[in-house]
Amino acid sequence: MRKAGRKPYVREVKPGFVYFYRGGKYLHRFTAPEGTAEFDRQYWEVRTGKTMEAKRSWAAAIQILRESDRWASRSARYRQDLEPVLTYLIEKIGKRDVSRLTQADIYEAMDKNKHRVRFANYIPVAISMIAKEVIRRRWLADNPAKGIERLAVPKHRQQPHIPWPDTAVAKWRKEAGALELLIFEIGVGSVQRPGDWVGFTWGDYDPAGTGTLRLRQNKGDKPLVLPCTEALKAALDAAKAALPFAPLPSRHIITKQDGSKMDYRRMAEVMLTERRRLGLEAYDLHALRYRGVMELAWAGCDDDEIMSYSGHSTKAMVRKYAGEARQIMRAKQARAKRS
């Protein structure tokens, strides 16, 4: 029987466990005590099937993030990666009060998206960024995404980057188009991540002497000054000379046909088309960074010297890339001694 004064369809199974019960089913467990405004709000939602938008909702919090300096300071590529997650959060919890989200909710959302691991792992990243903004406004006391463990990519779905062999490098330099060759040389010569290549401007390039490129890495925000390889300097000088007029320092080096900045996705499409044309589809953009590290290792550079060029934060990652190159080099040395 329903307790006197209790709302219709509300049942208490045991002390502290109050549910909305209708049609022979327990449809919702209330998280707030009876008689409170939060209890009434939850009751109204489950009974009417409508969601009442909270004043301190996730949609409002996301708007605060988008207008913040924190968001503006992130690279365009990073914001582009997070936008689908923000859209997803608005769709799923946009009208909910930010204070109601728990770590269990976050893990549940990640599990529902485990078929796309990268997207799933961006969910706590996005929530954490939002939380940091609204904590300052006292909408939250703690960051619900703090300490959330990321999902691992299943082994059967892991696709290792295959380093570009000498034959592929020679074929590309002989047969690739001018733009594709420029992108290739920037990738190998700078030893940076593909997301950084599209950020280079002509103001970052100093052609004096052997030439240098200056950048601040998107990942880690590390500033670097990189001496150019001969091939990279030649590609940059050729690209600059082909322009109808001297470029402004703010003009990007990798551009579309109309001269506007090329974004990462378009660059990836351009390079994939050329890789397919040349039969080199197995070797991707990220593997050009791998190739650059290997060339430094072949030149006899130690881990610290390679890190000063690549900007890697740990020696473990350098050894991952350079290890194969050193093994090949030592094997060749061993063969020479054997002969």
**Looking at residue 211, which CATH number applies to its domain?**
1.10.443.10
Contact 11, 18 (CB under 8 A): yes
Gap between the Cα atoms of 197 and 13, Å rounded: 61
Kindly give the confidence (pLDDT) of every residue in the chain, 339 residues in length, as a single tens digit, with 9 standing for 90 and above: 456 678 888 888 888 888 888 888 887 888 888 888 888 888 888 887 665 556 789 999 999 999 999 999 887 778 888 999 999 999 999 988 898 899 999 999 999 999 899 899 999 999 999 999 999 999 999 999 999 999 887 776 666 678 899 999 999 999 999 999 999 999 999 999 998 999 999 999 999 988 999 998 887 778 899 999 999 999 999 999 999 888 999 999 999 988 899 998 899 999 999 999 999 999 999 899 989 988 998 888 888 888 888 887 777 777 777 877 788 778 888 888 887
- Residue 300 tokens read as 């006899």
Whether residue 64 is found in the same domain as residue 34: no
Predicted pLDDT of residue 252: 96
**DSSP of 4-15, one letter per residue?**
TTPPTTEEEEET
Looking at the domain assignment, is residue 25 inside a domain?
Answer: yes
Phi, psi of 97 (to 5 degrees): -70, 135
- Residue 289 tokens read as 């960074």
- Residue 80 tokens read as 């582009």
Looking at the domain assignment, is residue 158 inside a domain?
Answer: no
Predicted pLDDT of residue 324: 75
Looking at the domain assignment, is residue 157 inside a domain?
Answer: no
pTM, two decimals, is 0.63
Whether residue 107 is found in the same domain as residue 222: no
Whether residue 24 is found in the same domain as residue 72: no
Looking at the domain assignment, is residue 33 inside a domain?
Answer: yes
Predicted pLDDT of residue 7: 86
Predicted pLDDT of residue 187: 95
Contact 249, 266 (CB under 8 A): no
Q: Which domain covers residue 274, as residue numbers?
A: 166-338
Q: What share of the chain is helix, strand, coil (3-state, %, to 5)?
A: 55, 10, 35
- Region of 212 on the Ramachandran plot (φ > 0 left; ψ -120 to 50 alpha; else beta): beta
- Residue 67: which CATH number? 1.10.150.130
Predicted pLDDT of residue 2: 53
Gap between the Cα atoms of 229 and 271, Å rounded: 21
Predicted pLDDT of residue 53: 57
Predicted pLDDT of residue 51: 53
Structural domain count, the chain: 3
- Give the end of a domain, one of 149, 176, 198: 149
Looking at the domain assignment, is residue 123 inside a domain?
Answer: yes
